[in-house]
Structure formats: C-alpha cells, structure tokens
Amino acid sequence: MTPSLILNIYVVLLLLELSFSLVLDWLNVNFIKTNSTTVPEYLKDSIDEETHKKSVKYSLVKLKFSMVSTLINGGILLALVLSGSFGLLDNWIVGLDLNIYGEGVLYFLIFSLSFYFLSLPFSLYSTFVIEESFGFNKTTPKLWIFDQIKSILISSIFLVLMVAGLLWFMSTTGDRWWIYGFIFVATIQLFLVYIYPLWIAPLFNKFTELSDEELKNKIQEVTKKAGYKAEAVFVMDGSRRSKHANAYFTGFGKGKRIVLYDTLIETLNENQLLSVLAHEIGHEKLNHIKKGLLMSLAILLVGFYIINLLINYEPLFFAFGFDRTSYHGALVLFSFASAPITFWLSPLFSRLSRIHEYEADSFAVKIMNSITGLKTALVELSKKSLSNFTPHPLYSFFHYSHPTLHERIKAMEGIDVKAS
C-alpha cells in the first residue's frame, strides 16, 4: 500500500470511531430523557423522586461533556496526524544527535507528556466543575496539583525504564526481539501489580487496617465461609478526594489485599458491607484477576508480534510524516494507530468483565445466603453516586464494564437461595 492510502484508511477509521462514539452518547442522552420521566419501576420503593431527577441531570451533564471532549480530542489527534507532527518531532530529535536510547526515550516522553497535558483541562473541568456542582468533589487545588506531579514522576520513571529496555532488546536480539520484549514488559507489569498496593498507592492515599473489632470478627466469619485465607482488610481515605464509594481487590502474594473506601463504610450498614466484601472475595476465589491479567498479557504478546511485522514497513512510517523507520517510531505508531481498530473490540472485553461481575455477585449471594445485603448495597451505592439507572442498551454494551443495576438485581433474584 502507498503511504497516502494508509493515511486515508487511518483517517476513515478514526472518523468512524469518533462518529460512533458521538452517536452512542447521543443515543444515551435521548434514551435517558425518554425513559427517566419517573423513577424506574424496579426502584420505586428505593429511590425518591428528587434523587432520581438529580441522577438524570448528572448523567446528562457528563454525557454532554463526553461529547465535547470527544470532538476536541478527536480534532486535535486528526490535526496532528494530517500535519505530520509525529514525523516532525522525530526529525527534530534526529538533529540532536543522540543514540537510539536517547532518541526513543525523549520521543516517548514528549509524546506521552503532550497528550497528558492536553487532557488536564478536561480533568480540571470534570473535577472542579461537574463533580463540584453535584457535591462529590473533595479534592483541593493543592491536592490535585500534587497528585498530577506524583503521577507524572512515577509514570515517567517506569516509561523511561520500559522504553530503554525495549529498545535494547529490539537492537540486540534480532528477529526474536518481540518475544524477549514481551517477557521484559510482562515482568514489569507483574512487578507493578505487586508493588502498587505496597508502595505506589500509599503515595496518594492513606491505608489503615480495619480497626472495628466487631466488624473484623464478622469479616473473618465471611472469609472462613468463603474458603478464603483472610488477609488484612484496609480502609482507604477516599473521602479526601471524592464522596464516591468503592471497594476493590488488588495485588498478589504479600501485596494482596481488599480495600474499602472510608466512604463505603460510612454509606453501608454492616450486612451490606459484608456482602460487598463477599463480592470482592468472589473475584479472587474465581480467579477473575488472574484471568484478566492473562488476557492482557496475551494481547500484549499479539501486539508485539504485529509491531515486529511492521517494524521495517516504510509506507506506514511515511504515511504519518516520518522520514525513516525506527524502533521507537514503530512502538508509537502502533500505540495510537491501532486504537481505531481495538475500539471495536472493546465490547468483547466489557462483556467478559460483566460476566465476572455476575459470577462475583452470585458468589456473594450464596456465601451470605441472601440477596438482600448485596442488592440493597448496590442500590444504596447507585443512589449516592447518582448512577444512570436507564442507560441505552447499546451504550452500556460498548462502555459498561459492569452490568447495569437493573441487570444485576434481576440476575440475583434468579439465584436459588433463601432471601432474608
């Protein structure tokens, strides 16, 4: 293929992705307006009219903001591609007379940081305008700035190490570089999964072991019933940044832990909290985290293989303004040029995630021998977060990693346990 044909194909795919994303947002906006005139039937006894109206308004505001950000970000990316900016940056770096490591690391740092800083205005508006206006934001400007600085420093350190290591394998191990490169990057990813809860997460939040002895005893009863070797349950000061509540399971080995937001403990009663905990244990017992990690590694391996096939394909480089082939150029081109294709695969991964959520819900219901705790917990959390109770089916199919509240409740009601 000629460079111009490759460029035209990419532009068409990008425009299709952007257009479809906007259509999904537009469908969701109209679906919410049409189906949210009253509280949904399945929530009649759980949510008052005022909360429902507020959730509708919150969902619409976020969707409209999403449409604007999609247009702006898509326009910026399209302008950069059509202007040959990626190649122009490479030409400038060549003039600095660096070695391949210096060229590659500098290119990636400029490339990554440019997109990072372009995203900051959207992050600011989302946090200090949208979240603030609906009473969710607790982040101060000072805390937000320090969060950004720490994020940049940490991500830059690992980016430099990863890029430098990859370039070494690409330049010294011949045609099998992609196998060694995969092993190298996979090792770093596993290392990050291990150290994140131990060293990185504490840089942003305070984690303390649950101190409520009565609750700890009841948690031990649940973990014993679930056949789970009880690790320490940590409480995270999520209220420093937001009123949103959550719980998650992270890490492996000594870094394995269940984390409960302090806002979650404040929001839920004891039975609800234990049910949420059982749900998180379900993810671990059913190997959802390991399955997700294996899938991401499989995708990584395929990605490296494709890069290897294209690494010396000059028309691809020329299409995006490069005057030469290069190792770092191949990595960068694949990272953004593949996005309009992988976008259409996202429903497959979302589908798998939703299946895992159903399985964890079922696990929790059976451990607690009741749907009441988890059902009411999900409703309460959805109320507090002003969730969209009536998303368009196609929108949730593409974007939702969790089933909708209605779908989860319906599935739980079909589980053969004695409700209490």
Which positions are catalytic? 280, 361
Q: How far apart are CA 265 and CA 267, in angstroms?
A: 6
What length is written for the chain? 420
Q: Rounded to an integer, what is the distance from CA 367 to the centroid of its chain?
A: 28
* Residues in Cβ contact with 350 at an 8 Å cutoff, skipping those fewer than 6 apart: 397, 398, 399, 400, 401
* CB 208, CB 235: distance < 8 Å: yes
Q: How far apart are CA 194 and CA 177, in angstroms?
A: 26
Residue with tokens 């660096």: 98
Q: What is residue 84's DSSP assignment?
A: T
Q: How far apart are CA 302 and CA 316, in angstroms?
A: 19
Q: C-alpha angle 117/121/127, rounded to 5°? A: 120
Is 37 buried (19+), middle (13-18) or exposed (0-12) by CB count in 10 A? exposed
Q: How far apart are CA 243 and CA 261, in angstroms?
A: 10
Neighbours of 229 (CB within 10 A): 9
Work out whether the CA dihedral 411, 409, 221, 292 comes out positive or negative.
positive
